[in-house]
Chain A
Amino acid sequence: MSFLPFAHALVARQDLPVPAWLFAWGASIVLIASFFALAAAWRKPRFEEARWRPLGAGLSRTLVSRPVQVLCALVGVFLLGVAIYSGLRGTEAPDRNFALTFLYVTAWLGFPFFSAFLGDIFRPFNPWRAVGRAAGAGFRAIAGQRPAHLTYPEKLGRWPAAVGLLAMVWLEIVYGSSGGVAVGLDPHAAATAALVYSGYTLAMMALFGTEVWCARGEVFSVYFGMFSQLGCFAVESGKLGRRRPLAAATHWATLPGSAAVVIASIATTSFDGGQGGAFKSAIESTFHWFADRGVDLTTSLRLTDTIFMLLCFAGVGLVYALGVRGMRTIRGAPSLATLRAGFAHSLIPIALAYLVAHYFSLFVFQEQAQFTYLLSDPLGTAHTDLFGTASGGIDFRLVSATTIWYVQVGALVVGHVLGLTLAHDRALVYWPNYRDASRSQYWMLAVMVAFTCFGLYLLSAGNG
């Protein structure tokens, strides 16, 4: 997201009472204390059942009713259409065009942030699902039968979504802004990518069925749906209800490739955070290595960033794999594959924590633009003022650099404590003896401390 021109607000120095690295020590102590508290007091699994309870019938009937669903679907399709049109026909200035901020800030960050509390709010607004369902209904009305679909290869699981997530972020932070030098992604490219993705998604929905593809391969459904598992509202059997927060996550990673999705989320955020700070000199050295061998500059930048993004993916995956490997040494441990899938959901709060830590300020600042001048002048032509807010701007004093830092630290600590709690709860399922369960979590504690310190290091290096 470094193509948006508000880096100056993000690099402001904080006024901290102690060195930034001491926060990593403090966070580690909080995690260790949480680990021992869980080991002492949490002796039965509590998250295996979501305990869904219906909300008031009137509210549920209204929110899940067909007219509301159709309205939400139309809003989703309309907004995607506006974004694509703005990208294709609007100004090439990224900060003045509705497309980039809407696609990469409002939707890409807003849905995870709100889904984590409210549940799967993207589903009713999903424009591709809406078109897929409408096409299916049209087919039924004309042909008098349900459309025939291919059987989805279950071994693929969520791997298409994991690869799609990497590709989506690659487009944004590698193709669009390699090594901090803007080389590619403009609103036109973003709109073209959205069109290509729409075509691909609708084709896959036609092949495998709308709901099947949304649950496994549609990047946004899978990605936002992953965070929604932490939320406390869900629709079941056509009724809206409340469930225990975090509990739904325990059954999310049952499909192959789910761990890859959450690892991709953490890795891409890490890469974006480290690109301009922690990894900067290594990226520059690799870039020069390619450039010195005659590779043209743009290709060198993109090649280097691609390598580092994949290294981040491999690194995060390796840390998680080591934690799982450590658990395997405890007597009575299930197979490695079971452990790998069984604990993947404990990384979801960490993925959310990384998102909040890295993009909270971006979201706060850029949403001011979204709801002022970008809303009134989506094409950025300076000739339109639909809602009278075209002259609005971003108030960078809304949150100070110190406040941002405390939100970042708070998000990382809370996210990792929640991850530790989910992992401990799952361990009690595999090891009914709570002592063995606690022992198995030694290595997950190390994983959580490593992710916390790494996250804080990325932030401090990026802000420094």
Chain B
Amino acid sequence: MTLPLAHLGHFLWIFYLLPVIFVIAGILKTTLSEKRRKEDVSPGDDVGEEDSDDD
């Protein structure tokens, strides 16, 4: 069986798209986990506590 490699060049764009997908996936994962962490904090807690080390 001959693999259809002659047209492989038409799909090279996927390799250029992958870094963008990885970055967006990372951002979504981080955003969701941050959101989940905030929801886990009880209502009485100071949500802005983590920002107290601003300079």
| CB atoms of A434 and B20 under 8 A apart | no
Pair B51/A453 contact, Cβ less than 8 Å: no
User: Given known contacts A433-B51, A435-B50, is B27 in contact with A453 (CB within 8 Å)?
Assistant: no
Contact A435 B51, CB 8 Å, known A442-B27, A445-B27, A449-B23: yes
Q: Which residues of B contact A (CB under 8 A)?
A: 9, 12-13, 15-20, 22-24, 27, 30-31, 34, 50-51, 54-55
Contacts of A442 in B (CB 8 A): 27, 30-31
**8 A-B pairs with C-beta separation under 8 A:** A432-B54, A433-B51, A435-B50, A435-B51, A439-B34, A443-B27, A445-B23, A446-B23
Q: How far is the CA of A464 from the CA of B12 in the complex (A)?
A: 11
Residues of A participating in the B interface, judged by any CB pair closer than 8 Å: 19, 21, 24-25, 28, 32, 43-44, 278, 326, 329, 432-436, 439, 442-443, 445-446, 449-450, 453-454, 456-457, 460-461, 464
Q: Is the CB of B16 within 8 A of A456?
A: yes
Chain A nearest Cβ from B10, distance in angstroms: 8
Q: Which residue from A21, A32, A436, A460 sits with its C-beta under 8 Å from B23?
A: A32
Query: Which of A433, A446, A454 lies in contact with B27, CB distance below 8 A?
Result: A446
> Does the CB pair B24–A446 fall under 8 Å?
yes
Chain A contact residues, majority secondary structure: helix
Q: Is A21's CB under 8 angstroms from B16's CB?
A: yes
Interfacial chain A residues near B9, Cβ < 8 Å? 464
Judged by DSSP, the binding face of B is: helix
- Docked pose: A18 CA to B54 CA in angstroms: 44
Asked if B30 and A453 make an inter-chain contact with CB atoms under 8 angstroms apart, the answer reads: no
**By the criterion CB–CB under 8 Å, are B15 and A21 in contact?**
yes
- Judge whether B19 and A28 touch: CB under 8 Å: yes
Chain B contacts for A446, CB-based, 8 A: 20, 23-24, 27
Inside 8 A of B50's CB, which chain A residues have their CB? Answer: 435
Q: Which of B9, B15, B27, B50 has the most CB of A within 10 A?
A: B15
B30 contacts across to A, CB distance below 8 A: 442
Shortest CB-to-CB span from B14 to chain A, Å, is: 9
Contacts of A329 in B (CB 8 A): 31
Shortest Cβ-Cβ A-B pairs, 8 listed: A21-B15, A28-B19, A457-B16, A442-B27, A453-B16, A449-B23, A450-B20, A24-B16
Contact with B15, one of A24, A32, A326, A443 (Cβ below 8 angstroms): A24
- A248 CA to B43 CA, complexed, in Å: 44
Give, as a whole number of angstroms, the nearest-CB distance from A354 to chain B. Answer: 15
